């Protein structure tokens, strides 16, 4: 019994010593997510991120460049702050544009949301915390961003947005999912 407990003690001590001597990068990479996944997760978890905002990013080594257009200045600063705190990020370069405050654009956002998401073919994209079709309005000009299941949904979203009274132009940047 004594020999078994001594062996277990030596084995445990050896494993602890090996773990301590292992380089930190090896220990972290064993159960760490790639930096892109961590950044994406932090951005979608932002409390004010919604269907009227778009955020994207590029990772180059340990530098993250944030891109997008948001309706609230606090969302821009929150995005910068959460990404700065991610382990492995040395520098954050923010190219997020804050859209101008405009009651006209706010009315258009609501009308566009109703027009697009009330369409039976598109209402499935409204499910989830962050809808799949993002509606960006800047001085009456609309950009649709996001991912849809097929070309027909992309075209329907464009037609619905273009049919809203007061819209000056519509840019359809919706991407169609690649089916295997």
Distance (Å, whole) CA 63 – CA 31: 21
Do 112 and 145 lie in a common domain? Answer: yes
What's the token pair of residue 176? Answer: 């169609």
Higher pLDDT, 24 or 148: 148
H/E stretch holding 169: strand 169-176
Angle at 129 between CA 97 and CA 101, to 5 degrees: 30
Q: Computed over its alpha carbons, how large is the radius of gyration of the chain? A: 24
Do 93 and 154 lie in a common domain? Answer: no
**Count of domains for the chain:** 2
Residue 4 has pLDDT above 60, yes or no: no
**pLDDT, tens digit, 9 for 90 and up, residues 138-152:** 999 999 999 999 999
Signed CA dihedral, 33, 38, 44, 48: sign only: positive
Distance (Å, whole) CA 176 – CA 136: 18
Angle at 10 between CA 7 and CA 12, to 5 degrees: 105
What's the token pair of residue 62? Answer: 């340990």
**pLDDT, tens digit, 9 for 90 and up, residues 99-111:** 999 999 999 999 9
Do 94 and 107 lie in a common domain? Answer: no
Residue 169 has pLDDT above 70, yes or no: yes
State the CATH number of the domain containing residue 165: 3.30.1340.30
| Exposure string for 67-76, b = 16+ CB within 10 A, e = fewer | ebbbbbeebb
pLDDT band, very low/low/confident/very high, at 128 (cuts 50, 70, 90): confident
Boundaries of domain holding 135: 103-176
Residue 127 lies in a domain: yes
Per-residue confidence (pLDDT) for residue 180, from 0 to 100 = 60
């Amino acid at each position: 019994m004594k020999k078994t407990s001594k062996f277990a003690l030596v084995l445990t001590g050896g494993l602890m010593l090996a773990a301590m001597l292992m380089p930190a990068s090896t220990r972290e990479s064993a159960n760490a997510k790639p930096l892109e996944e961590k950044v994406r997760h932090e951005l979608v978890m932002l409390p004010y991120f919604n269907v009227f905002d778009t955020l994207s990013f590029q990772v180059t080594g340990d530098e993250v460049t944030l891109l997008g257009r948001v309706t609230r200045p606090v969302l821009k600063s929150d995005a910068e702050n959460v990404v700065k705190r991610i382990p492995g990020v040395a520098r954050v370069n923010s190219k997020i544009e804050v859209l101008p405050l405009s009651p006209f654009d706010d009315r258009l956002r609501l009308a566009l949301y109703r027009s697009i998401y009330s369409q039976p073919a598109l209402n499935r994209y409204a499910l989830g915390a962050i809808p799949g079709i993002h509606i960006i309005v800047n001085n009456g000009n609309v950009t649709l961003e996001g991912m849809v299941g097929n070309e027909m949904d992309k075209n329907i979203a464009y037609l619905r947005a273009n049919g809203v009274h007061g819209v000056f132009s519509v840019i359809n940047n919706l991407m169609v999912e690649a089916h295997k």
